[in-house]
Amino acid sequence: MQKHWLDQPRNVRLLWRAFLGVLVATVLAEFLVHLHPHFEIESLFAFHAWYGFLACALMIIVARVLAFLLKRRDSYYDRSDHD
Amino acid sequence: MIEWLAHPGLVLLLGAMLLPFLRARARAAAVLVLPLLALILVWRLPDGAGLSAQWLGYQLTPISLDKLSRLFATIFSIMAFAGGLFALAQPSRLELPAAYLYAGAAIGVVLAGDLISVFVFWELMAVGSTLVLWSAGTAAAWAASRRYMMIHLLGGVILFAGISGHVLGTGDTAFVRMAPDSIAHWLILIGFLVNAGAPPLSAWLPDAYPEASWSGTVFLSAFTTKTAVYVLLRGFPGTEFLIWVGLFMVFYGIVYALLENDMRRILAYSIVNQVGFMIAGIGIGTEMALNGAAAHAFTHIIYKGLLLMSAGSVLFATGKRKCSELGGLFHSMPAATICGIIGALAISSFPLTSGFVSKSMVSQAAADGHLTWVWLALAAASAGVFLHAGIKFPWFVFFQKDSGLRPADPPANMRWAMYGFSFLCLAIGVWPEALYRLLPHAVAYEPYTAAHVLTQLQLLLFSGLAFFVMLPWLKRTLTITLDTDWVYRVFLPALAMAAGRGIGGIQKGMLRGGAAIGARLSIAIRRHQRADGFLMRSRPTSVMAFWAMLVLLAYLIVNYIQ
């Protein structure tokens, strides 16, 4: 069977480069598009880019901390529920 | 009586009762025609109060239409149609009738002009949805349906108490705008919020919905939470407290979904997340925000239905639900993959999808109202939606590692249901005017400005970067995350067991003590039963006469005192 084009590491690398290229393009596009910020903080350079990244990083970290406290095996409830 | 048959909800409800008696093609035809009939009726009924009746001296108006109720009745009918199409081959004979009962009751709630009708249809919805859960036929679904019923009966009792108080206080049954200014109104608000999946009871939703069958969850995702959004839109617009409830739900959904391994539980948490956006909008309460909440409910039903159809197809084809057992399915399920990705882009509010034109109205309302912190939280949450549902669901199910599974795409009826909803996700995104015309207030909003498209792309693409950069931290494990349902699934049962053991111990102690006393007593009695014992002694008659007189005297005194 022929391998799917997505299964070839060469193509995955290519996709990564394209993705990073698009990221850079969206930031550089700020020089071309007139943004009309509602709040002061929004007028910082590439606000939505770094805010989105940091917000997600923070949420992942919060999730990790929560997991540390509240994570259980997925069979945790099996005994108590089916009595 | 005949005009009652023109009630779109009752058409579905009564039609549901016919379904078990139909076979093969007649059944399939009825499944597809009934929701369309309901949809036509919704659009043929005139604005204002239609039906009215007197019941126990109260005025009932089961049909009272305006733009808001028509919007919700429309999307509920469309959802019933697509869900019915998707579920045509469902082997359970109970599920579709139950789902149509559920959908009909949901339409009944949004058309009702008085609180009593709202309550009756509200409870019918609980019955219908519980039956949908039951029809999955597994032990896990049975256990989950009991917990589900318990929470919804509790919510129903609270709502009923609130409605009773409101009707007694005002003498009016009409469902009008309220404010949380009395105990009765607080109870109504709490009853509504229980069904919306609000804290502290949000856990009922991710606990129950993923236990339904591959098609059952599609129905469950649509009606209960969105009728709750509807009644909050009508009953409590501009209640500031709802902003904070909504924001909590938004982040709760994201964080729990990030930790989840079951693909349908990920999507269930993301329902709470999305409803959070709507409730925050209702709390902001401006026309823009209310339009945004209503529009988002409309688009959400479509893309969440689509996502759960995509997940349902995977479950149907593989029998597996855990991300850790899935992956690489894009090889053999291109239709489910592409439709799932369209749904994921729509939930993430990518430009040219339905989420982009609806959710951004809520953010815009926060910006217009200069609510800096609310706006910042909503922006962070928008990034988080892409993270927890937009990428996570398609990535772990259809891509990531190759699980080696090569199941085929589902049958034609399931594929067409997905194609239809995929089309709607894109069509609403490209031509939002059609949806905007249906909204309760006039819309003065243009989603497609260069600035809005660019900022949204930055937000989403960089959250995508965060996902892939931090992927090792998101690796799936065979775990669940404890939620407040732990209280009634583990803690309270354990408490009851402990209390039972305690009471049992006391009982045992008393029995043992009682037995000891009894034994000693019987020895004593037997000792006095001997010939010279106290009980066997012969006594003179005069002594007996003396005692009899004493008793009579006591009787006389007691009588006299009385």
ipTM of the complex: 0.91
Asked if the bond preceding B440 is cis, omega within 30° of 0, the reply is no
Mutate to test the interface with B, among A19, A74, A79 (most CBs of B within 10 A): A74
Beta strands B53-55 and B48-49 are: unpaired
What secondary structure letter does DSSP report for B536? T
Q: Which of B304, B351, B367 is nearest to B458 (CA)?
A: B351
Q: At what angle do helices A47-70 and A9-28 cross, to 10 degrees?
A: 120
Using pLDDT thresholds of 50, 70 and 90, give the confidence band for residue A82: very low
Average pLDDT over chain A, rounded to whole?
86
In Å, how far are B98, B224, B470, B549 from B220, measured between CA atoms?
Answer: 11, 7, 33, 81
Shortest distance between the Cα of A21 and any Cα of chain B, in A, equals: 11
The more confidently predicted of residues A82 and B352 is B352
Question: Is A23 an interface residue toward B (CB < 8 Å)?
Answer: yes
Burial B478-510 (b: 16+ CB within 10 A, else e): ebbbbbebbeebbeeeeeeeeeeeeeeeeeeee
Which residue ranges in chain B fall short of pLDDT 70? 1-2, 562
User: Which residue among A29, A33, A38 sits closest to B367, beta carbon to beta carbon?
Assistant: A38
> What pLDDT score does B397 carry?
94
φ, ψ dihedrals at A4, nearest 5°: -65, 145
**B396 exposure class (CB count in 10 Å sphere: 0-12, 13-18, 19+):** buried
> What pLDDT score does B196 carry?
96
In Å, how far are B36, B50, B156, B414 from B120, measured between CA atoms?
Answer: 24, 18, 10, 33
Report the distance separating Cα B57 and Cα B389, nearest Å: 50
Q: Which residue of A has its CA nearest to B322?
A: A74
User: Which residue among B379, B454, B490 sits closest to A51, beta carbon to beta carbon?
Assistant: B379
Query: Are the CB atoms for B405 and B321 separated by under 8 Å?
Result: no
Report the distance separating Cα B526 and Cα B364, nearest Å: 93
The tokens for B140 are: 């896990």
The tokens for B264 are: 């349908």
Four-residue CA torsion sign, B539, B541, B544, B546: negative
The more confidently predicted of residues B526 and A58 is A58
> What pLDDT score does A83 carry?
45
> What pLDDT score does B447 carry?
93
Asked if residue A67 has pLDDT above 70, the reply is yes
On chain B, the residues whose CB falls within 8 A of the CB of A38 are 367-368, 370, 375
> What pLDDT score does A81 carry?
52
Q: Which residue of B has its CA nearest to A21?
A: B461
> What pLDDT score does B6 carry?
84
> What pLDDT score does A40 carry?
84
Query: Are the CB atoms for B387 and B258 separated by under 8 Å?
Result: yes
* Cβ contact A57–B261 (<8 Å): no
> What pLDDT score does B484 carry?
87
Asked if residue A80 has pLDDT above 70, the reply is no
The tokens for B77 are: 């009918």
Q: Which residues neighbour B300 within 8 Å (Cβ) at sequence distance 6 or greater?
A: B226, B274, B275, B278, B347, B355, B358
* Cβ contact A26–B457 (<8 Å): yes
pTM: 0.89
* Cβ contact A60–B387 (<8 Å): yes
On chain B, the residues whose CB falls within 8 A of the CB of A28 are none
Shortest distance between the Cα of B140 and any Cα of chain A, in A, equals: 8
User: Which residue among A26, A53, A63 sits closest to B258, beta carbon to beta carbon?
Assistant: A63
User: Which residue among A64, A74, A80 sits closest to B478, beta carbon to beta carbon?
Assistant: A74
* Cβ contact A52–B458 (<8 Å): yes
**B244 exposure class (CB count in 10 Å sphere: 0-12, 13-18, 19+):** middle
* Cβ contact A71–B479 (<8 Å): yes
